[in-house]
Structure 1
Amino acid sequence: MIAIIPARGGSKGLPGKNIKEMCGKPLIAYTIEAALKSKSIDHVILSTDDEEIAAVAKKYGAEVPFMRPAELASDTAMAVDNYIYTIGRLEKEWNTKIDSFVVLQPTSPLRIAEDIDGAVELFNARNADSVVTYVKEAHPIFWHKKIDENNKLEDIFEGTIANRQELPITYYPNGAVYVFSTEMIRQKKYYTDKSYAYIMPRERSIDIDFIDDFKYAEFLMSNSKDKK
């Protein structure tokens, strides 16, 4: 199976984050190395519009068979369109059919090879259309509220459940691993009735958007017993 690492150059929340140094390596290196260690991944493909990111990724072992077109790297571009383009071009250049693939965002540096393998194994075992990594909510979502322009609290969910013990356990996607069937993605869907969750621990579920996320991930990595 191939792994696509999407890493465009125009990050707004944290400029240059994909190659920003974390514990002695560029951020993207951790995702490349995890993919290369994975038993499930045969090719690690970088999708980028940025020559500097491409050069760094190649140094750490990723393949960069072509650059991403500018129209698929804008702020308004849809990720699914880039996946469709990348898979289609690989199929054409390799003269082969790609039935499924993995997406690994470089903003999840604490994800390990075993997480990738676990998600792929679940995908294959369930004959799934998609498997997405999720993490348990730390705070009950049923306590969430909307706040209007006057700071008045408004309910999102009907009814009130006061005790944490009465609340159902909920999960949210952590952005670490996606396994997709090509057929589903070409329909521009991420989920069907054959979609499943692979649960990851909170300590490996950091998704970096802003500098605070970066600093927290760096702290966790620097204190990890299993430094990469």
Structure 2
Amino acid sequence: MTRLCTICARGGSKGVEGKNLMDLGGKPLLAHSIEQALASGLFGVVAVSSDSEAILQVASEWGAEVIIKRPGHLATDRAPKVPVIQHAVQTAEAETGMHYDTLVDLDATSPLRVPADIVGAVGLLETRGVSQVITAMPARRSPYFNLVELDAAGHVQLSKRLDSSVSRRQDAPACFDMNASVYVWTREGLTNWQSPFNPDTLLYEMPEERSVDVDSPLDAEWVRFLYESRDTRSYD
């Protein structure tokens, strides 16, 4: 079984300027994902894709084996992520001369995952024989209980309704919040990707404290707090 890890880190960011290189615990944010990928022991190659020379230099310094300069049309804030990953995979395969069976993408802005999360998500895909696994955490809000929408008249209604009402959140169907941490595909699953989920996509559950994605200045402060306060002995 051959496995490739990609990490795609764009230079521009509207939410948090320079977030992929922001300091977290004395390391650039990107470095945490590279180190986690290497520590998992799963990958023949870790590849980093970016339009930023500064990011690519940091990636090389922290152990990424394949450095990929992303083309301009895949580096805009409107570019969807999967084509970026597909380009990274194609480039890494061309450079290494390898064809990879399992493809994993780690989001550089989700630094609180641990190697065991990567191993668990990959293991779920490979043991169950599915084409895709995503990671998520239990949702804080439920569309069946306390997540609402406005109808055409501006009146409040639940986002999803059941045949019978739900009086406690605990009684509502389980819902999950995608945490943008680990994405896993088979080669065919990624090559033939057309929508966010394949018909057989499975979910690997992660706890909330390892699921923060840096999308705003508040997220960045929350990640720093969690990183500095957690007991690292619990994350081996």
TM over 0.5: yes
| Distance across 2 between alignment mates of 1:133 and 1:165 | 21
Contact in 1 for aligned 2:33/2:108 (Cα 8 Å): yes
Q: CA deviation at 1:36?
A: 0.9
Q: 2:124 aligns with which of 112, 122, 125?
A: 122
Residue 210 of structure 2 corresponds to residue 204 of structure 1: yes
| Distance across 1 between alignment mates of 2:60 and 2:17 | 21
Secondary structure at the residue paired with 1:180?
Answer: strand
Q: CA deviation at 1:79?
A: 1.2
> Which amino acid in structure 1 is aligned with residue 136 of structure 2?
Y
Could you tell me the percent identity over the aligned residues? 34
Residue by residue over 1:71-130, the C-alpha shift from the partner in whole angstroms, topping out at 9 and shown as x without a partner, is 111112121111222222222232332232100001111101111011111111011101
Closer, same or farther in 2 for the Cα pair 1:183/1:55, shift >3 Å? same
Q: CA deviation at 1:211?
A: 0.7
Closer, same or farther in 2 for the Cα pair 1:218/1:94, shift >3 Å? same
Residue 147 of structure 2 corresponds to residue 141 of structure 1: no
Secondary structure at the residue paired with 2:184?
Answer: strand
Q: 1:223 aligns to what?
A: 229
Q: 1:110 aligns to what?
A: 112
Q: 1:175 aligns to what?
A: 180
Residue 193 of structure 2 corresponds to residue 188 of structure 1: yes
Secondary structure at the residue paired with 1:65?
Answer: strand
Contact in 2 for aligned 1:115/1:200 (Cα 8 Å): yes
TM norm structure 1: 0.92
Secondary structure at the residue paired with 2:35?
Answer: helix
> Which amino acid in structure 2 is aligned with residue 86 of structure 1?
A
| Distance across 2 between alignment mates of 1:17 and 1:35 | 19
Contact in 2 for aligned 1:54/1:64 (Cα 8 Å): no
> Which amino acid in structure 2 is aligned with residue 103 of structure 1?
D
Name structure 2 gaps, 5 residues minimum.
none
Secondary structure at the residue paired with 2:92?
Answer: helix
| Distance across 2 between alignment mates of 1:158 and 1:204 | 30
Alignment of structure 1 residues 77-116 onto 2, 5 Å? 77-116=79-118
Q: CA deviation at 1:175?
A: 1.0
Contact in 2 for aligned 1:129/1:191 (Cα 8 Å): no
Q: 2:160 aligns to what?
A: 157
| Segment drifting more, 87-96 vs 212-221 | 87-96
| Distance across 1 between alignment mates of 2:217 and 2:154 | 27
Secondary structure at the residue paired with 2:232?
Answer: coil
